[in-house]
Amino acid sequence: MGSKNSGLYHNVRRYIEKLDASFSLQMKATDAQFLITASALTLALRPIHAANLNELSQLEGHYATEQYCVFLLTIPWLAQRLPVALLPALQHKAVLSPCFRTLLILKDKILKEILEVDKGKVVSYSKTMPQVAWLLANVLSLATVSDYSSWIPRKFTEGLDYISYVHVTIILSENLLTWFENAGWIKNENQEFQTNFETSAESDTLLCGTQTNCGFLKMSYIDSFRPVYQQWHLMKLSALEKDAFDYDIDNQMPKNMESFGKCDLLDVAYYYSYILRIFSALNPVVGSLPVLNMLAFTPGFLVNLLRALERSMFPGKSDVAKDNFLSGNRTSRNKDDGVSERKQKRVTKDGANKLAAVLYKITGKGNVGYTGAVDQPTPNWVEEDSSDVWDIEPLRQGPEGISKDTSCLLHLFCASYSHLLLVLDDIEFYEKQVPFTLEEQRRIASMLNTLVYNALSHSIRQQSRPLMDAAIRCLHLLYERDCRHQFCPPALWLSPARENRPPIAVAARTHEVLYATPRLDETLTFPSMGSVITTTPYVFPFEERVQMFREFINMDKASRRKAGEMLGPGSRAVEIVIRRGHIVEDGFQQLNSLGSRLKSGIHVSFVSESGLPEAGLDYGGLSKEFLTDIAKAAFAPEYGLFSQTSTSDRLLIPNTAARFLEHGLQMIEFLGRVVGKALYEGILLDYSFSHVFVQKLLGRYSFLDELSTLDPEVYRNLMYVKHYDGDVEGLCLDFTVTEESLGQRHIIELKPGGKDVYVTNENKLQYIHAIADYKLNRQILPFSNAFYRGLTDLIAPSWLKLFNASEFNQLLSGGKHDIDVHDLRNNTRYTGGYTEGSRTIKIFWEVISEFEPKERCMLVKFVTSCSRAPLLGFKYLQPTFTIHKVACDMPLWATFGGQDVERLPSASTCYNTLKLPTYKRASTLRAKLLYAINSNAGFELS
């Protein structure tokens, strides 16, 4: 009966295929149908029960199980086609164990036969989904026992051979992924990603591409994988190993029956690494999110993955005690981490005022203020003598230099940890330091930084893409957190490229070529150095990236010259007339429609408030004055387009009420062009934008903890809800937020029907991230999109991505909050009769050297309209910093009496010129200069 010649399994398959896939749910089978189905299964299972498969020598006994695997276990939705009462017969250990052993012993033969079945198109359901896929799905379904009222797996089948189950799943998953790759189903994941926190385990789409008679249920192939993203599933597999560390990291998969009894962390890593890739290929909407949710939040799993990696990457340096896998508790902690342990300040549960403040700050439905600061530690690490410590030796060859086993562990760790980082708040990351200490976080960052840089510097095989996608994603999240609140030394990010960075000009041209050339074939290997610049630009020092940015602009100007566009005075220049009292409105009306034509020169003619044209020709100075003046007026909070954050630095962010203003969004788009023009011409604007707003301009999604940079009080109250020990439902919160605009209150639902969904302990995480997503992303998205459209008319998006948020602000407004007097002196020119040896000039530099840093910044702002120096020094200030001699007539008696000049210094900010009278005494020059720079005026001081 079990022989191939009998045709038993082929005919049983034909019968089961014709059963409705919803048969077991509807339970409408007649007695005759039930009897026939039970008889067919009895005939199929009898040869397996009769065979003795405990001995390897009894190979003839494997013939029946081989046919059973090839013909029956490859039936689509096998478990759903059979009556529930008959499923235990298929799930019994007397059937599953022999099948698993046969699959392990005869895997090559069975997979070959399955492939032949695919080619022969024996089964109509295999048009898009291969037979090995259904074999894997049925193994997962039969190995677990579900609550058939909801089809949610609850436990493993009693007496299951767990070890064989793991190894069989690994073999089938690897084979299925190979099929996906050959079929072109696997594509490179997008490195710039967004994560949807609200998902459903149900899918209404048939991913196998074939319609079935499922009726209302519409079972999908991916539903068969439900067991693998249940936490009990991972916990059981992990518990098979008493000590998760007693294994060779490069051990091989079992090749004989004696090794089937062993399962370790590496087997579990292979299992879930393959499952993640299968989910990504089959579920393009949700991806591997259900699996990642389970992996990231299973206690101790990430900790043990890191321990395994540390033993490979840092041999002899990891003295951390072994952890209990199921508890995840660490028994030791590095006391020299440089970060003081702080106890989290908990808010009293029964504090009525504080609860009211939480409600008001989060939802706007209250009127009680809540004062308090976010207590965030500042890490103090010691700079290493050599950056070699951050350049990890085993990863200097990229993924090609590590074993397949290490690659698997690293892929699973990066994918799971990057998911956890999305919801890990700063209190947990910096203060509680869970799941890792800051020292461990630095080691993780250094591992990923070394891997990614060396991978992108060389060609990468297609097989390494899953690892690289996960590693790049995790690395970006760690870098963004470090940018917001530093925990890594700067040498860490620079270390892999410190010796072999290309010249600035070469790097800039490589970057432009990469962005200008579309990638026609996604299966090609990564480009080399170009991808380093686009993916990990921070391996270049900030100053070099600024030079690269300037190089991009110079190349763009050169290409425009070749195209016949003229810079400076000429026929291509834009002529505008601006009224002093209406600078924003006039600039908007005359320039907003020009788009990228703003790259050309702008000739400005000013009309005074009395209506008379001002004297003077614009040779670049007046256009600079126009840009600085229009920015000063439009970015002022009272104008209504931008407001300031509630943080101490008072950074700019779009005012949500701007959408109610006339041409509000168009005005914000115009201001994007103004900022783009300033960046393009190297003109500094004395303004800085909120971290969250700049993140949008750089095309990046903002996560929960970035709310602390926008509104620390709302963030702190969300953390209160997150860590609240009582029943959150008592706070009477729902999934809405209230906004006030122009005196009216608007209720915004965070999800459809949100006003009827109350926040509970079960959904409070979802609520917290919904609030954060609204505040950080949804609320300002229309304004950031408008500003981005204007900005990118002049500045290419690829140029912007060289910088993080704080670096973008430095690019816009200049360098440090002090002035290098030596640099300024070396790049100053003198006019009107002054020379470097003039008495007044010598006195001037002596006085400036004795100024306080704040006073030097005020002087530079007085002359240039910006309080900071250009990033690369005053050499790059346009126009050049100039000191012009102002001759003052004095009475003869005053000269003999030793009196000094009474006139005040003045400035022409459009030409970066200080008009300095010929003072004779240092005391006079100091007093007059301080008076002038504190008067907040320029021309009128004349």
Residue 261 phi/psi, 5-degree rounding, is -80, 5
**C-beta neighbour count of 272 within 10 angstroms:** 29
From CA 535, how far away is CA 538, in angstroms rounded? 9
Yes or no: say if 170 and 267 are a contact pair by the CB < 8 Å rule. Answer: yes
Yes or no: say if 916 and 844 are a contact pair by the CB < 8 Å rule. Answer: yes
Rg (C-alpha) for the chain, rounded Å, is 35
From CA 45, how far away is CA 512, in angstroms rounded? 65
Residue 829 phi/psi, 5-degree rounding, is -110, 160
- Active-site choice (208, 263, 866, 910): 910
- Residues whose CB is less than 8 angstroms from the CB of residue 916 and which lie 6 or more positions away in sequence, other chains included: 834, 840, 844, 883, 884, 885, 886, 905
3-state secondary structure 817-841: CCCCHHHHHHCEEEECCCCCCCHHH
Class of residue 855 by CB neighbours under 10 A (exposed 0-12, middle 13-18, buried 19+): middle
DSSP line for 885-926:
EE-----HHHHHTT----PPPEEEGGGTEEEEE----HHHHH
Q: Look at the block and give the residue holding tokens 């400076």.
A: 568
Going by C-alpha positions, the residue among 357, 166, 132 that lies closest to residue 265 is 166
Helices 621-634 and 583-591 pack at an angle, to 10 degrees, of 110
Q: How far is CA 377 from the centre of its chain?
A: 23
Task: Please give the single-letter amino acid code of residue 308.
Answer: A
Q: Respond yes or no: is residue 910 known to be catalytic.
A: yes
DSSP line for 487-546:
-S-HHHHHGGGTTTPPPHHHHHHHHHHHHHS----TTSPPPSHHHHHHH-GGGS-HHHHH
Sheet holding 828-831, edge to edge: 828-831, 881-886, 913-917, 906-908
From CA 758, how far away is CA 764, in angstroms rounded? 9
Cα 231 to Cα 153, 159, 763, distances in angstroms: 11, 20, 18
Active site residues: 910
